[in-house]
Chains A and B, each alone.
Chain A
């Protein structure tokens, strides 16, 4: 079966390649020696440039087929155009760069500016960034481009506990330095942030991504106070990159028109992320774990948890890395993703029993990359989700096949 799928992927890829004429435009080579931290991901992309024009453009696309079912109820065949993202970067002048990223989701129904920042470099350790920034909490939010992953779905902990992709209007500083095998980077931003909807939403649980629904957040911050996001990351050539991040601030509209409505309530998020490619085996590991704390009045409902935690780990093992079907740099990978979220950590006031509201998932995958920028991936999801009362979990499973490519 595996053998068959491999061949099919190869075949599919051949057919596609025949249609591309790549002689007209110049593709920037990725500099893999210098740029290595998750914070570099926004610029670490295959941009296209045209002659001497100081503007480069790029983007990626993700589409898939899936057939998932929960407890015997199947969704049937679903064909989805997940998203198309366009990025434009330009060198405006000396030490002045601008980069923007525009995302079209659900066939263009949702359009979002994910990133649109002006970067001013004073010193490699001191850059100023302003505009719409991507809050560097965990690693996925900064480094989420579809073609980089062997899985069609984004990690649940990153998108349904942490709110990836999560960007806000804001300002901040970042910098980076190297010494021998070591690399160090930091980021510190003040931005707009969350609102009451994180504990008052149709998901019926504390849900940071609910704040993304608020289109006004780029104009008006619900709490009138800044959301602080800070991250430090260290990379060693052999031991990999580890990142520690924090994001927090007051989320609620505690006053309006000068009239007090509630006390100030904070949300705090802590995350740790790690990635590395193991020497010899070439196994690639990437994962993150995060903790969310939300100040919720105890007269509200425990339906909305005051603590959450969860994370994911991807293990990717290249099994073939050679010329395949005319591609010099093709790879075939086996991979597996482990995911877990507890949306409501704690016990019921009434009984002292553990509160449920948990999900875990294991997703084996086969992926084929004709080149590093393009991936064909076949995933199988094995997922269990428990309701708040800890009843028998709902079981979801099924196949997902997707393509994703930079263009």
Chain B
């Protein structure tokens, strides 16, 4: 009995200790070191839909029973967009069969995308003879809601098709015809019945709904009511993913937070930032954009720092694979946002796989592969002193 009495205060202490057990668990990495997580300022309902989309995107894995394939590239969204960040050669996909704005000439041979993997018993696809192709490494999917709500008017204002300002940089939007299941955004501007597309490396996807529907269909072999065509047979089949799940995933993509820059006060970073503008990187990688109206309050009329202009630029012969989408030329690529660039290795297995097909293994290599409209800018980079180059890279790593 005496023992029990003596123990009593200790039990209390242990109780308190267990009450604060979190202390004995691994701490969270800094928010700014993580790509995933929701935008601040969402309503509870928006948070709930974010979570539903999070599960569909990250946790749900397709199997043959739930509709995988039979031809596919990967088994779920997160296999390619792990941690919502960039992918690697393992998850890089191949598209083929289009060389100009007249469209894809190889749709009857499995175009536009190779499904290079197949369920046992099936044969995966290969690039047909005579088709040109390009490889696409998965980009990060963070902050896309902000890009979604940049107005068409703003995008057109950044475009300079005839290079009127004489800086050697033109920049054009990818005009395309809307898929039947898409509605134009509120502020959309049409030209000859065509709309500005902005997602994807060739800016050939109109919005996050199209991107999501195409991903299910072409990457995982999952038919939906939006696109009920089976990748294997080419025939329509019953939906293998619900409309609700697709809407949840779109909401998730819309409300993923934008990457948070780091070390912004460091003098190297600040110096690098001004060099970035001075040598005209910022003419394409626009530091700041604003959103127009969005039904999601947290995205409506906000200023943000993506380092892109959402426009297509001729990047020269070196980056011309002879393949394209929509109205883009084969040498044209949409300026990729540079936000989150420094965090790329956290999802690329500790390495860098940059540019559209992951061919650049460092930031510097990526810069040196710029050509075409970016030739001038690259040359200016090369004539920087070593310490200036270092500062510029430090700045890019801080994004």
Minimum distance in angstroms from B340 CB to a CB of chain A: 15
Partner of B117, one of A68, A299, A396: A299
A356 to B88, CA, bound (A): 13
- Cβ-Cβ contact count across A and B, 8 Å cutoff: 129
Partner of B26, one of A77, A262, A397: A397
**Residues from chain B with Cβ under 8 Å of A391 in the complex:** 82-83, 346-350
CB-based contact A265/B61 at 8 Å? no
Partner-contacting stretch, out of B72-80, B305-313, B328-336, B370-378: B72-80
Render B185-201 as a binary contact track against A, CB cut-off 8 A, 1 for contact. 00000000000000000
Q: Which residue of chain A has its CB nearest to the CB of B345?
A: A391
Contact flag A252-B120 (CB < 8 Å), given A8-B14, A391-B82:
yes
CB-based contact B349/A301 at 8 Å? no
**Residues from chain A with Cβ under 8 Å of B16 in the complex:** none
Partner-contacting stretch, out of A108-116, A196-204, A330-338: A196-204
Q: Which residue of chain B has its CB nearest to the CB of A252?
A: B120
Partner-contacting stretch, out of B3-11, B162-170, B258-266, B268-276: B3-11
Minimum distance in angstroms from A378 CB to a CB of chain B: 11
Render A382-407 as a binary contact track against B, CB cut-off 8 A, 1 for contact. 00000111111001111100000000
CB-based contact A196/B120 at 8 Å? yes
Partner of B7, one of A8, A262, A301, A397: A8
Minimum distance in angstroms from A262 CB to a CB of chain B: 4
CB-based contact A389/B18 at 8 Å? no
CB-based contact B10/A8 at 8 Å? yes
CB-based contact A203/B61 at 8 Å? yes
Interface membership of B119, Cβ < 8 A: yes
A395 to B27, CA, bound (A): 9
Partner of B63, one of A201, A265, A390: A201
Q: Which residue of chain B has its CB nearest to the CB of A261?
A: B121
Partner of A356, one of B3, B348, B349: B349
Within B41-65, the residues touching A (CB, 8 Å) are: 60-61, 63-65
Contact flag A395-B349 (CB < 8 Å), given A7-B10, A300-B117:
no
Given contacts A301-B72, A391-B346, A399-B21, 8 further A-B contacts (CB under 8 A): A67-B18, A67-B25, A262-B120, A300-B118, A351-B89, A351-B90, A391-B348, A399-B24
Instruction: Give me 19 A-to-B residue pairs in the complex whose CB atoms sit less than 8 angstroms apart, sorted by A's number.
Output: A5-B14, A7-B3, A8-B7, A67-B22, A67-B24, A68-B25, A69-B22, A201-B63, A300-B119, A301-B74, A301-B75, A301-B117, A351-B89, A389-B82, A389-B349, A391-B346, A392-B350, A395-B26, A396-B26
Which 7 pairs across A and B sit closest by C-beta, in order of nearness?
A72-B28, A69-B25, A350-B89, A395-B26, A67-B21, A389-B349, A262-B121
